[in-house]
Structure 1
Amino acid sequence: MRNFKTVIAAGAAMTMLGLTPAMAQDNYKDEYRVSTVVPAPFPWGIATERWAELTAERTDGRINLKVYPGVQLVQGDQTREFTALRQGVIDMAVGSTINWSPQITELNLFSLPFLMPDYAAMDALTQGPVGEKIFEVVQAKGAVPLAWAENGFREVTNSKVEIRTPADMQGLKLRVVGSPIYNDMFTALGANPTQMSWADAQPALTTGAVDGQENPLTIYSVLKMHELGQTNVTLWGYVADPLIFAVNQQVWDSFTPEDQEILKQAAVDAGAHGIEVARKGMTDGDQSLIEEIKGYGVNVVTLTEEERQAFVDATRDVYDAWKDKVGADLVNMAEESIANR
């Protein structure tokens, strides 16, 4: 009995000191499955791997995140990832705002055509009141958002023509992601948008069944898309694709407050690193990635303000229609944040 009382007293002392007995973590999993679309060396994959590394390091290996790229936990269907996260089929994810937009309409904000003119505008949204509001919406949908990263501004490429005006896009068959706003945008520009997975898109580009696609330059570079016939690139920055680190609600609730804070800070730090990598070589002070792509013999077009405005005007009806779908108040908040950046 005396030994039993000693154990109880020791446990109470540990609690008072803020220490957690090992038995309190018996419900932790040996491995937490993290879903993402692409692996390293893509910036997206690098950010996800960094999250796993920092979490393991800062918890002395108590929390083990295993990354499953290629959205393999949902059979490669990117648009099912958030549903799987919410349902607990996967534990955590670093997900695309585009891919999650079918379940969270507000995430289409980042796909409004030409809303964000530069990186400062993207930061004004994700790091300001708009980002906070988006996180509230994600939380209400059943997942706990922790931090932002990014996949980058999406540029248009094709195998047939230099694109400088909407007229240049007439009849081009372009692979687009699986969100309805992209069909609307490219239809408004006169193109023939085709939604397909990237696994299907690569052979379609190679054979010429599809003329072009839109993706960040980091994706273009790592996949060597110039070898897929994508020898015309237009830098128009029409939309960007922020990424969200998120955890299933039940998984999150299973962690101690101390471990929740470690997991969150690891996501914040990993996201900051991912953003740095995603922007490297594409800023005013460093154009090295763009120069590298030009070195492959690729025709890279940077639109003038007047040329870009023609695309803005051609997609304005799409912007206005989707503003109502996203939520006028949220879009107004975004426009004000960008104006004041």
Structure 2
Amino acid sequence: MMMRVFKAAAGAVATAALLATALSGAQAADYKEEYKVSTVVPAPFPWGLAAEKWVELVRERSDGRINMKVYPGAQLVSGDQTKEFSAMRQGIIDMAVGSTINWSPQVKELNIFSMPFLMPDHAAIDALTQGPVGKELFDIIEKRGVVPLGWAENGFRELTNSKRDIKTPADLNGLKIRVVGSPLYLDTFTALGANPTQMSWADAQPALATGAVDGQENPLSIFTVAKLQNVGQKHVTLWGYVADPLIFGVSKRVWDTFTPEDQDLLRKAAQDAGTYGIEVARKGITEKDDSTLKEIEGLGVTITRLSDAERQAFVDATRGVYEKWAKEIGPDLVKTAEESVANRKK
């Protein structure tokens, strides 16, 4: 009698195990053969490296069940990087490691990172992304149809040009500066007396080479990898006027097809890839490690480091832009950001 009960129980356990395996297999069968991950720039840029690390970690941790592939150059949206977020919402793009700047046309609150001179150092960026501002932004993004998983970093955007050293706002008068497709950037450079020109990064490099534009603003990792000194960019000004955090995101339509276990796997992999990406983005441009700055100077490029008084002149010149956009973004969010920066741990 006891033996029959034991065999029946064992059979039930085996049946349950087979059923679980079958359900797991059925779920895996519903997964796509490949998930497309959109980025603007590839490896060896820090942006591309963070995306590739995410792909690698997910593949390893899922034992190859979840296969992702990075598509750089915003090629999934025909090169128009500002359409990336909308394409994810619609399920046209599965996933992305996206710029807060490029997503800001659809999520106006992301303009917080482009508020001129809000963030004076890396600790300030961390205070925003890892604090209440970051949490609120993630809540907003998810309500718009994209599930945000973690932060990476493109870095502080420094100014370069082919004409002269920039030490004062007056030095920018009349210079044609390539900027990203955001009205806030147009307002900022117009306030500084420059002639801002919006264009994609793909169009920017040939425009610099031909002199159609005089300069651009981007993280120094872009400068070194893209070798901007070869397209006339011989003057760099370190002013850290805005930064460009990156977000690992998944289309809500795609996200809902994953099991809770795989959702957790994707999130943790994104966070680990983000930590790696931030380390790469900051390498060589800090007080403890200025190797990238020395490398750039070794290329015959002049680097201008602003004094506190010189930087303040730029702050004053763009204050009207800051106040205008504080209303656009939301005064409460801006106030929270200012408090987070003021209370940051340096």
TM range, normalised to the smaller chain?
A: over 0.9
In the alignment, which residue of structure 1 is the partner of 2:114? Answer: 111
Amino acid at match of 1:294: E
Instruction: Give the TM-score of the pair, scaled to structure 2.
Output: 0.94
Distance 1:24 1:87 in 2: 22
CA displacement 1:151-210 (0-9 Å, x = unmatched): 000000100011000000000011000000000000000000000112221111111121
Distance 2:23 2:270 in 1: 23
8 A Cα contact 1:32 1:92, kept in partner = yes
SS at match of 2:261: helix
8 A Cα contact 1:11 1:21, kept in partner = no
Check if 1:196 corresponds to 2:199.
yes
Equivalent residue in structure 2 for 1:290, among 290, 293, 304: 293
Check if 1:177 corresponds to 2:180.
yes
Q: CA deviation at 1:144?
A: 0.3
Amino acid at match of 1:44: W
Distance 1:200 1:34 in 2: 22
Q: Which has the larger radius of gyration?
A: 2
In the alignment, which residue of structure 2 is the partner of 1:88? Answer: 91
Distance 1:314 1:77 in 2: 31
In the alignment, which residue of structure 2 is the partner of 1:97? Answer: 100
In the alignment, which residue of structure 1 is the partner of 2:39? Answer: 36
In the alignment, which residue of structure 1 is the partner of 2:190? Answer: 187
Measured at CA, do residues 222 and 260 of structure 1 come closer, stay the same or move farther in structure 2, by a change above 3 Å?
same
Check if 1:70 corresponds to 2:73.
yes
SS at match of 1:152: strand
Equivalent residue in structure 2 for 1:271, among 259, 271, 274: 274
8 A Cα contact 2:73 2:202, kept in partner = no
Distance 1:57 1:202 in 2: 36
Instruction: Give the TM-score of the pair, scaled to structure 1.
Output: 0.96
Amino acid at match of 1:288: S
Equivalent residue in structure 2 for 1:136, among 123, 127, 139: 139
In the alignment, which residue of structure 2 is the partner of 1:25? Answer: 28
Q: CA deviation at 1:22?
A: 1.1
Measured at CA, do residues 19 and 310 of structure 1 come closer, stay the same or move farther in structure 2, by a change above 3 Å?
farther
Q: CA deviation at 1:10?
A: 3.4
Amino acid at match of 2:273: A
CA displacement 1:30-61 (0-9 Å, x = unmatched): 11011011100000000000000000000000
8 A Cα contact 2:28 2:65, kept in partner = no
Distance 1:119 1:199 in 2: 28
Amino acid at match of 1:154: R
Distance 1:8 1:118 in 2: 61
CA displacement 1:126-154 (0-9 Å, x = unmatched): 01111000000100110000000000000
Distance 1:107 1:167 in 2: 29
Q: CA deviation at 1:12?
A: 2.5
SS at match of 2:79: coil
In the alignment, which residue of structure 2 is the partner of 1:304? Answer: 307
Distance 1:317 1:34 in 2: 38
Amino acid at match of 2:286: T
Check if 1:244 corresponds to 2:247.
yes
Amino acid at match of 1:12: A
Amino acid at match of 2:270: A
In the alignment, which residue of structure 1 is the partner of 2:16? Answer: 12
Work out the percentage of aligned pairs sharing the same amino acid: 67
Gaps of 5+ in 2: 1-8
Distance 1:7 1:250 in 2: 38
In the alignment, which residue of structure 2 is the partner of 1:231? Answer: 234
CA displacement 1:52-85 (0-9 Å, x = unmatched): 0000000000000111001100000000000001
SS at match of 1:178: coil
Q: CA deviation at 1:8?
A: 7.5
CA RMSD of aligned residues (A): 1.7
Measured at CA, do residues 259 and 161 of structure 1 come closer, stay the same or move farther in structure 2, by a change above 3 Å?
same
Distance 1:196 1:188 in 2: 19
Equivalent residue in structure 2 for 1:217, among 201, 207, 220: 220
Check if 1:155 corresponds to 2:155.
no
Aligned length: 336
CA displacement 1:214-248 (0-9 Å, x = unmatched): 00000011011011000000000000000000001
Q: CA deviation at 1:304?
A: 0.4
Measured at CA, do residues 14 and 187 of structure 1 come closer, stay the same or move farther in structure 2, by a change above 3 Å?
same
8 A Cα contact 1:147 1:245, kept in partner = yes
CA displacement 1:246-280 (0-9 Å, x = unmatched): 00112111111111111100000000000000000
CA displacement 1:95-146 (0-9 Å, x = unmatched): 0000000000000000000000000000000011110000001001100000
SS at match of 2:159: strand
